[in-house]
Amino acid sequence: MVCLLATPPTAVSWADESPLDTLQVHGFLSQALIVTDNNDFFGASSQKAGSLEFTELGVNASLRPSPNMLIAAQLLSRRAGGEIRDAKPTLDYGVIDYQMVSNQERTLGLQAGRFKNPLGFYNQTRDIAFTRPSILLPQSIYFDRTRSIGIAADGVSVYLEERISTGTLRMSGGIGRPQTGSGLSRQLFGNTIGSVSSSTPSAIAQILYENQNGKFLAALSAANVNLDTDIAGNPAEFNFQPWVASLQYNDDLWSLTAEFALRQQSLEGDNIPTSFDITGQSWYLQYQRRMTPTWSWLVRYDSLINNNADRSGYQYEQSGFGPAHSQFADDITIGLQWTPSAHLMLAGEYHHVNGTGWLPGQDNPDSSATQQHWNMLLFQLSLRF
């Protein structure tokens, strides 16, 4: 898993080197074709030959002014359905990383700026196709339709890496304001809310353990996200608290990964037509097989329940909010990747989905017209330099 934090090089004589000598620039491009039989995902995927509206283009750079300081940033242009203007380049992350301690036993550092949130195994590197096990990450935990709220925050984060006798213990946490994005209100609440903003800082933390040979990893992540909204001109507060437990075992030719999340969501305010306080759950089990150094495949079962007190969505539908199947999603995924070089990857995957719990609202504005059972094919070309 790619990490934004880097250990200062030990073999460089900083007295003889210019900071510009440490400059590194990299980039990536991914283009996907998405075809569905029912419902739309990232564009009009159920029509004609499918949708080409899933494109990711990024450029990142890093510079080390001193042995214990790193400046790193990435610009990202990403279109996932919606309008062409949604692909306008934005700052994906941009941090000044200062390491107060860096030795054989531990590393202690501080990041200031827009930092990637340490949530689960994949959130910090999810925008680069080469670091994902599949074209789409498990949508029950790594929502693409509301990625802006979870991807990064503007503030300060700290990290500590302790190298112990049995492996490495990594702890990180931060306080900042999440990215809300122009379409977040529609994705979170449909058309009932006029705006979503973040005036109150949110918090996130993670502890991760990796044994000496890297075969076993375990992590626990938690966050407390606060957003300000308005409903028909009346202020309201939205709170989101996810807990994510992650486990992974890596053998020479295969990997087994599982993550489980509890998600508490609440919307409160005076004189608003609707409010809620619900807890949902998400989990997936994923098996990856490396057939050759260039070929690999995976199979995954991914499950989402929006409200544990209404697992079938029956009460939700009876209240007139929308179809019952919008409150859950069970996804069986089969994927294949071919990486003939470090700079090129071709991937394909098939999804059989029961439910529309993570279906993007911008692509399906009329939820009553969606189908409970649907299938999706994705093909993706990815390049990097």
Domain spans in the chain, listed from the N-terminal domain onward = 19-384
DSSP state letter for 360: -
Q: Do residues 115 and 95 touch, judged by C-beta distance below 8 A?
A: yes
Q: Do residues 261 and 267 touch, judged by C-beta distance below 8 A?
A: no
Alpha helix positions (H), 263-356: 314-318
The radius of gyration of the chain's CA atoms, rounded to the nearest angstrom, is 21
In whole angstroms, give the CA distance from residue 205 to residue 376.
34
pLDDT of residue 267: 84
0.75 surpassed by pTM: yes
Beta bridge partners of 229: 196, 236
22 phi, psi to nearest 5 deg: -95, 0
In whole angstroms, give the CA distance from residue 149 to residue 181.
8
Q: Do residues 138 and 259 touch, judged by C-beta distance below 8 A?
A: yes
- 3-state DSSP call for residue 20? helix
- 3-state DSSP call for residue 218? strand
- Which residue in 276, 298, 296 sits closest to 285, CA to CA? 298
Domain 19-384 is found in CATH 1.10.3720.10: no
pLDDT of residue 373: 98
Which residue type does 18 have? S
For residue 6, what are its two tokens?
């880097």
For residue 87, what are its two tokens?
């692909």
Helix (H) or strand (E) holding 151: helix 147-151
Alpha helix positions (H), 40-175: 147-151
In whole angstroms, give the CA distance from residue 129 to residue 49.
23
pLDDT digits (tens, 9 = 90+) for 6-48: 343 343 445 566 788 899 999 999 999 999 999 999 999 999 8
For residue 384, what are its two tokens?
């990097």
pLDDT, one tens digit for every residue, the chain (385 residues) = 334 443 433 434 455 667 888 999 999 999 999 999 999 999 999 998 999 999 999 999 999 999 999 999 999 999 998 777 778 899 999 999 999 999 999 999 999 999 999 999 999 988 899 999 999 999 999 988 777 777 889 999 999 999 999 999 999 999 998 877 555 555 555 555 556 766 678 899 999 999 988 899 999 999 998 888 777 677 888 889 999 999 999 999 999 999 999 999 988 887 777 778 999 999 999 999 999 999 999 999 999 999 999 999 999 999 998 999 999 999 999 999 999 999 999 999 999 999 999 999 889 989 999 999 999 999 999 999 9
pLDDT of residue 191: 53
> Which residues, other chains included, contact 366 with Cβ-Cβ below 8 Å and sequence gap of 6+?
none
For residue 256, what are its two tokens?
């087994």
pLDDT digits (tens, 9 = 90+) for 288-338: 999 999 999 999 999 999 999 999 999 999 999 899 999 999 999 999 999
